[in-house]
């Protein structure tokens, strides 16, 4: 993929990417390798995507505008990155217009857009997860928290940009969290309903499944780092880095995830008339009692996508097209490299709190080695140069024969990125260091 092309000069595949973050840049990178002749379009692309696509000056959330635009431009495949347009029904609208699109319907996307729905679905399907109660009334939520004690977890039920889950070590913090959501409207309407659930101990795992409503293909598991500070300290973020594969994701663990999580939840959704098509992301906790679900997402995760896709040898495009066209994945197989991948996010000073934008950004050429990739997230072109436009600015992914080598290359690449206030975690994948062979 050498750059944007006139999409109508030859009968080539035309692919629309809805979204403009690090996840979408990674999808563009992989799909461009799967079909180098394809013409790519993206909604308001970031600074890294812009040279490789034809820009579409529409917001990823502008469902009406995107349906009209895609029909007019004869799009062969639309791939949706963020959760908001999925929750708004972009897949339903594209399907009604006869445009192939990869993602779940609005009804199926409730598995992410409503944590209360997801928890109730798991209860009906017999999927192991934390004990929980849902509340819309503040006094009832407070009484339950005081009854259960701490540590405990409080979650905004709706979409909260990945920041709606609060792990509360003390009862006072838990009471403050439910008050902030139900009374203080800290997360807007997303916090009008809260889920209060037991605190689970264990190590987390992120597992992606490409699903056609009945059959599914599991992708290589990964682990992300949500806390802003090294040693997993400080507030939660959208993700400060990730790595794959993960040593604890043994064949036994993955077999349990398949049989106790993905198979029953997909079967329940199909039987209830809301089959899930698209990318089902399960955040899993490996507890003393086995695998339990922390949460589901209805789309590719960020930054996990930036480490999973560089390890994929076979075609992602073939999988996405199969699902988007309503065909079966029953015979689908995926091939993986035997390497390891680590991605380190370079963020703006102050993130995940307030931070500045418009900082001149320099990425030296040596960052992009053959086995090291830069996936842009919060970047743009302004004043004739690349500059920052978000909290998570970019991610540096390295691929190497061992985890230790991939982690070193990723850190070294991140350290070369220059802008005022830049910072990153230097310990991404620290749990894996002792497991690296």
State the CATH number of the domain containing residue 66: 3.40.50.20
Q: Would the pLDDT of 222 be above 90?
A: yes
Tell me, yes or no, whether 163 and 217 share the same domain. Answer: no
pLDDT digits (tens, 9 = 90+) for 268-283: 999 999 999 999 999 9
Tell me, yes or no, whether 153 and 287 share the same domain. Answer: no
Residue 127 in domain: no
Tell me, yes or no, whether 63 and 210 share the same domain. Answer: no
Confidence of residue 161 (pLDDT cuts 50, 70, 90): low
* Domain count of the fold of the chain: 3
What's the pLDDT score for residue 437? 46
- What span, in angstroms and rounded, lies between the C-alpha atoms of 252 and 58? 45
Tell me, yes or no, whether 207 and 188 share the same domain. Answer: no
Lowest-confidence segment of 87-91, 211-215, 234-238, 360-364 by average pLDDT: 234-238
Confidence of residue 24 (pLDDT cuts 50, 70, 90): very high
Per the structure, the complete domain to which residue 225 belongs is given by 203-433
Tell me, yes or no, whether 292 and 413 share the same domain. Answer: yes
- Written in H, E and C, the secondary structure of the chain is CCCCCCCCCCCCCEEEEECCCHHHHHHHHHHHHHCCCCEEEEECCCCCCHHHCEEECCCCCCHHHHHHHHHHCCCCEEEECCHHHHHCCHHHHHHHCCCCEECCCHHHHHHHHCHHHHHHHHHHHCCCECCEEEECCHHHHHHHHHHHCCCEEEEECCCCCCCCEEEECCHHHHHHHHHHHHCCCCCHHHHCCEEEEECCCCEEEEEEEEEECCCEEECCCEEECCEEECCCEEEECCCCEEEECCCCCCHHHHHHHHHHHHHHHHHHHHHCCCCCEEEEEEEEEEECCEEEEEEEECCCCCCCHHHHHHHECCCHHHHHHHHHCCCCCCCCCCCECCCEEEEEEEECCCCCCCCCCCCECECCHHHCCCCEEEEECCEEEECCEEEECCCEEEEEEEEECCHHHHHHHHHHHHHHCECCCCECCCCCCHHHHCCCC
Residue 412 in domain: yes
Residue 128 in domain: no
Tell me, yes or no, whether 214 and 144 share the same domain. Answer: no
Residue 8 in domain: no
Q: What is the CATH number of the domain that holds 367?
A: 3.30.470.20
Q: Where does a domain end: 103, 128, 148?
A: 103
Q: Would the pLDDT of 8 be above 70?
A: no
Tell me, yes or no, whether 294 and 382 share the same domain. Answer: yes
What's the whole-number mean pLDDT along residues 358-380?
Answer: 93
Q: What is the CATH number of the domain that holds 180?
A: 3.30.1490.20
Q: Would the pLDDT of 7 be above 70?
A: no
What's the whole-number mean pLDDT along residues 137-155?
Answer: 84
Q: Would the pLDDT of 178 be above 90?
A: no
Q: Where does a domain end: 125, 157, 192?
A: 192
Residue 310 in domain: yes
Tell me, yes or no, whether 142 and 241 share the same domain. Answer: no
Q: What is the mean pLDDT of the chain?
A: 92
What's the whole-number mean pLDDT along residues 240-255?
Answer: 96
What's the whole-number mean pLDDT along residues 390-419?
Answer: 97
Residue 60 in domain: yes
Q: What is the pTM of this model?
A: 0.91
Tell me, yes or no, whether 324 and 274 share the same domain. Answer: yes
What's the pLDDT score for residue 10? 56
In the chain, the percentage of residues whose pLDDT exceeds 90 is 75
Residue 33 in domain: yes
What's the pLDDT score for residue 343? 98
- Torsion angle defined by CA atoms of residues 282, 287, 291 and 292, in that order, rounded to the nearest 10 degrees: -50
Residue 335 in domain: yes
Confidence of residue 157 (pLDDT cuts 50, 70, 90): confident
Tell me, yes or no, whether 19 and 151 share the same domain. Answer: no
């Amino acid at each position: 993929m050498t750059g944007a092309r006139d999409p109508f000069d030859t009968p080539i595949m035309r692919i629309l990417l809805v979204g403009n973050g690090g996840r979408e840049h990674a999808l563009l990178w992989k799909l461009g390798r799967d079909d180098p002749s394809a013409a790519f379009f993206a909604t308001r692309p970031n600074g890294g995507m812009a040279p490789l696509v034809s820009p579409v000056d529409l917001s990823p959330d502008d469902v009406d505008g995107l349906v009209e635009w895609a029909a007019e431009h004869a799009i062969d495949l639309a791939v949706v990155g963020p959760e908001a347009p999925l929750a708004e029904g972009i897949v339903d609208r594209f399907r009604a217009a006869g445009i192939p699109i990869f993602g779940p319907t609005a009804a199926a996307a409730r598995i992410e857009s409503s944590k209360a729905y997801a928890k109730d679905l798991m209860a009906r399907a017999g999927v192991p997860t934390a004990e929980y109660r849902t509340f819309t009334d503040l006094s009832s939520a407070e009484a339950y928290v005081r009854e259960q004690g701490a540590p405990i977890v409080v979650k905004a039920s709706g979409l909260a940009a990945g920041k709606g889950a609060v792990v509360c070590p003390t009862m006072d913090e838990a009471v403050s969290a439910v008050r902030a959501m139900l009374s203080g409207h800290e997360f807007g309407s997303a916090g009008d309903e809260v889920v209060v659930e037991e605190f689970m101990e264990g190590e987390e795992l992120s597992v992606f499944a490409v699903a056609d409503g009945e059959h599914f293909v599991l992708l290589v598991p990964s682990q992300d780092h949500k806390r802003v500070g090294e040693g997993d300290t400080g507030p939660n973020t959208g993700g400060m880095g990730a790595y794959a594969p993960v040593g604890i994701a043994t064949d036994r663990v993955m077999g349990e995830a398949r049989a106790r999580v993905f198979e029953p939840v997909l079967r329940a959704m199909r039987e209830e008339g809301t089959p899930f098509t698209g990318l089902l992301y399960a955040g899993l906790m490996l507890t003393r009692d086995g695998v339990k679900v922390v949460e589901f997402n209805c789309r590719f995760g960020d930054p996990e996508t930036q480490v999973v896709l560089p390890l994929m040898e076979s075609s992602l495009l073939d999988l996405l097209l199969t699902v988007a066209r309503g065909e079966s994945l029953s015979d689908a197989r995926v091939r993986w490299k035997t390497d390891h991948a680590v991605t380190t996010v370079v963020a703006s000073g102050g993130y995940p709190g307030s931070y500045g934008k418009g900082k001149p950004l320099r990425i030296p050429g040596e960052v992009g080695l053959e086995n090291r990739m830069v996936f842009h997230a919060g970047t743009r072109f302004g004043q004739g140069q690349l500059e920052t436009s978000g909290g998570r600015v970019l991610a540096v992914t390295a691929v190497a024969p061992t985890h230790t080598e991939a982690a070193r290359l990723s850190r070294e690449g991140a350290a070369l990125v220059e802008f005022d206030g830049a910072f990153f975690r230097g310990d991404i994948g620290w749990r894996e260091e002792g497991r690296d062979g």
